[in-house]
Amino acid sequence: MTDGATKSRRAVFLDRDGVINRVALCRGIPHPPASVHDLEILPGVPQALITLRAQGYALVVVTNQPDVARRTASVESVASIHAHLEETLEIDAILACFHDDADACDCRKPKPGLLLQAADAFGIDLPSSFMVGDRWRDMEAGRQAGCRTLWIDNGYLEKRALDYDFRVGSLTEAAAVILGQAMP
């Protein structure tokens, strides 16, 4: 852990499903891959991450995985997906919340707990960082943490993000915006 005086690193916080990997849509609602065998990295993601890292950003995935609490996914299956992502992509860390809304935890987005935890662990300056996500919960968590927010509009048939700094169509577009908007 670091103390408040050393929080000088910039980060890009990334939601997982719909940002890094393809989701399965069921009636317009996104669902995560069931296993590493179902995992498909979205086009442009590896290069976008390499570009962001080359500009000095820490890359931290912050993901809700409530299917563990709902007992429709196991911690082991989620861990295998995360291990694969860490082995194949430029990612510094993956932090996951396995709770459902009823658990009222501090780590489930839209609460900013995962971002605050990462900021503490990696010395991240939240106001100079970005949150990239595809759901309203991501935007709210980023906003509450004090980050600038980029919403990837995937056209889901659910509650839409209304409060965000930038609307983009992919992580590739988000990286371009971030690099154009970054403070020196």
Per annotation, catalytic residue among 3, 17, 38, 165: 17
Per annotation, catalytic residue among 15, 100, 125, 163: 15
Per the annotation, the verdict on 17 as an active-site residue is yes
**Ramachandran area for residue 121 (φ above 0: left; ψ -120 to 50: alpha; else beta):** alpha
With residues binned 3-state (H G I as helix, E B as strand, rest as coil), the percentages for the chain, rounded to 5, are 35, 20, 40
Of 109, 25, 29, 21, give the one whose Cα is nearest residue 65: 109
* Catalytic residue annotation: 15, 17
